[in-house]
Structure 1
Amino acid sequence: MSDSLGTSKATRRSAFLRAIEFDNSLPIQDDAVQLWLKDLDNPLRWSVRPLLQFFFAVLLHIIWFVKRLPLPQFSAHGLLQSMICWFCRHFVSREANLLILRHFATESNVLNFLADNSPEANDIARVDLYPTTINGMQQASFVEHDQELFRLFAELGHWTPAKAKKPQALNWQHWQPIDMAAFQIAPKRTQVLDFETSHALFMCLFCLLLTREEYRDAINGFNLDQSIALRIGQLIGDPSLAEMAYNKHPLYLVGPWNLSQRFLMHGFFTEYLYAHLENLRQSRPSKTSTPYNETEAAQ
């Protein structure tokens, strides 16, 4: 029944949506594509989302303005995580929840790959944020998700442009391939909100329950996407990776304007980079294969 229903929805999609379902020009796993297309199928996304997104965008800028005033700062990380997890558990659609859980895994893998293959990174703690349930996000929190990114960049220090490594020389020690069967979402009838509508509410909670510096850092952390792409591109000899990054120029700090799109494009970026690296990992020469011969490769 569920398969026939999914097929029926797919056949009702517009010509453009049917086209992008098969467009693999950018590297992205089919699981992520199907989840996103199902999220686009959500009728509330096209009716309720524009109104809620406008309301929450106005509210966000009001909170942002108040938090920037010379007033005592406060934060409530535990309350923030509890509210987000409660909201995800009861109101966020299954597809959107799975996309959120995938994002933890994709970014953790990308950062760990960068650390594993960076020079003089042996003493740096790797990122261990791989929740498989909504409750798991209570510990592997969104706040920690941002802070781990900043910690890793600071501990890696100044980047020295690296020579590309041969495929068999790349280090995949802390890479954890995504298994969709490992994600567990308890179904509820009230889980109806799409990904973007849910994020519109989350961004207001973040702005309210973080200090102004914490929130400013969180929404500007997306701009490190370009830096990550440049570094990994050098490591694997593929400078085109930088083209995948929508968020760029981390020295230029921005406010909450256009935050929803920037957040969404950050999610796409990590999916692209994860899929590209996973394809590279699966196609790497096996240990039992013939050793790489530079002379033969040149010929």
Structure 2
Amino acid sequence: MADTGNRPRSPFLRALAVDDSLPIEPEAVRLWLNDIETPTRWSLRPLLQFLLAMLLHLIWFVKRLPLPQFRAHGLLQRLICAFCTHFVSPHANRLILRHFATESNVLNFLIDNSEELGVEPLTLYPRRIDDMLDASFVKHDQELFRVIEELGPWRPPAAPLSTHAISWRHWRPLEGAVGEAPCKRTQVLDFESAHALFMCLFCLLLTREEYRDAINGFNLDQSIAIRIGQLIGDPSLAEMAYNKHPHYLVGPWNLSQRFLMHGFFTEYLYARLERLRCRG
């Protein structure tokens, strides 16, 4: 079992490192445990989340006023990529890149195994931080909404698909899909501290409707889990979704946890489907 520096991991973290009761890839666990042990997560993060949560709600309030709306997608993406390159830890950056790929795979699985023809598959698989200038976070959200809309009303299959009937046409295994990058001395921020900073930028540089849709899009996790569970005959997938009930729109309260649990959900679902693919 690897240690962080000269300090051994606690018994709970050692247990977490080997517990695969929920489907999750060892690489994702390794990256997450490294992120948990980043010093800023236990020192800087609580203060950042407290202060920036107040700032977020202030921006949210101002954006909801009947004022002219503006957006700056390009500036938003350049700021995020620059911040990730210079200040966010390499393992946190890899978790961010993995999230693009896991969600793209999950949605492509739905597209490939749907009766609805002509839905364009997702191509958002950035390997490096600079790739996110094109495969942006805004596009990531909009592609989710596009796929759900174009798939139309859900028609559950009469019976789960057999192993040989499942299509993996647009599935891209993550092995080697995320590139390594050299670490700078300034790259010390953990995943959650970085997100605390990003969420205010998103609220400021998106229109109020774009931001409202983005933070409520997490609740489609339950819908996706139900659909894929019916396709492969595993209703337990719906229990993996922390974010639920997409018809109930929410504000930015508890956003950090909801975002993090959305990330776990896509990792769980990706790992479950990848195991199924490998067995087939």
After superposition, the C-alpha distances for 1:80-132 in whole angstroms (9 at most, x for unaligned) are 00000000000000010000000000000000000100112x21100100000
1:270 maps to 2:277: no
Q: Which runs of 5+ in 2 are unaligned?
A: none
Q: Which runs of 5+ in 1 are unaligned?
A: 285-299
Change (3 A) 1:15 1:9: farther
2:155 to 142, 150, 160: 160
After superposition, the C-alpha distances for 1:214-266 in whole angstroms (9 at most, x for unaligned) are 00000000000000000000000110100000000000000000000000000
- The answer to whether the Cα contact below 8 Å between 2:76 and 2:201 also exists between their aligned partners in 1 is yes
Q: What TM-score do the two structures reach when normalised by structure 2?
A: 0.97
CA distance in 2, matches of 1:182, 1:59: 33
Structure 1 vs Structure 2 CA RMSD: 1.3
After superposition, the C-alpha distances for 1:180-220 in whole angstroms (9 at most, x for unaligned) are 46413232110000000000000000000000000000000
- The answer to whether the Cα contact below 8 Å between 1:81 and 1:138 also exists between their aligned partners in 2 is yes
2:31 to 12, 19, 35: 35
2:218 to 202, 218, 222: 222
State the partner residue of 2:278.
282
CA offset at residue 174 of structure 1?
0.1
CA distance in 1, matches of 2:22, 2:176: 21
Letter in 2 for 1:124: V
CA distance in 2, matches of 1:8, 1:213: 42
Letter in 1 for 2:251: G
- The answer to whether the Cα contact below 8 Å between 2:127 and 2:177 also exists between their aligned partners in 1 is no
CA distance in 1, matches of 2:171, 2:244: 25
State the partner residue of 2:202.
206
CA distance in 1, matches of 2:171, 2:5: 35
Change (3 A) 1:116 1:66: same
Q: Which has the larger radius of gyration?
A: 1
State the partner residue of 2:140.
145
- The answer to whether the Cα contact below 8 Å between 2:215 and 2:251 also exists between their aligned partners in 1 is yes
Superposed, 1:85-124 pairs within 5 Å as 85-120=81-116, 122-124=117-119
CA distance in 2, matches of 1:103, 1:8: 24
Letter in 1 for 2:201: L
- Count of matched residue pairs: 279
1:57 maps to 2:34: no
- The answer to whether the Cα contact below 8 Å between 1:220 and 1:250 also exists between their aligned partners in 2 is yes
Which moved further from structure 2: 154-163 or 100-109? 154-163
After superposition, the C-alpha distances for 1:121-170 in whole angstroms (9 at most, x for unaligned) are x2110010000000000000000000000000000000012231001100
CA distance in 2, matches of 1:211, 1:182: 31
CA distance in 1, matches of 2:184, 2:69: 37
Change (3 A) 1:178 1:213: same
Q: What TM-score do the two structures reach when normalised by structure 1?
A: 0.91
- The answer to whether the Cα contact below 8 Å between 2:90 and 2:183 also exists between their aligned partners in 1 is yes
Identity %: 70
- The answer to whether the Cα contact below 8 Å between 1:101 and 1:131 also exists between their aligned partners in 2 is yes
State the partner residue of 1:243.
239
CA offset at residue 77 of structure 1?
0.2
1:125 to 78, 99, 120: 120
CA distance in 1, matches of 2:156, 2:28: 32
- The answer to whether the Cα contact below 8 Å between 1:53 and 1:197 also exists between their aligned partners in 2 is yes
Letter in 2 for 1:241: L
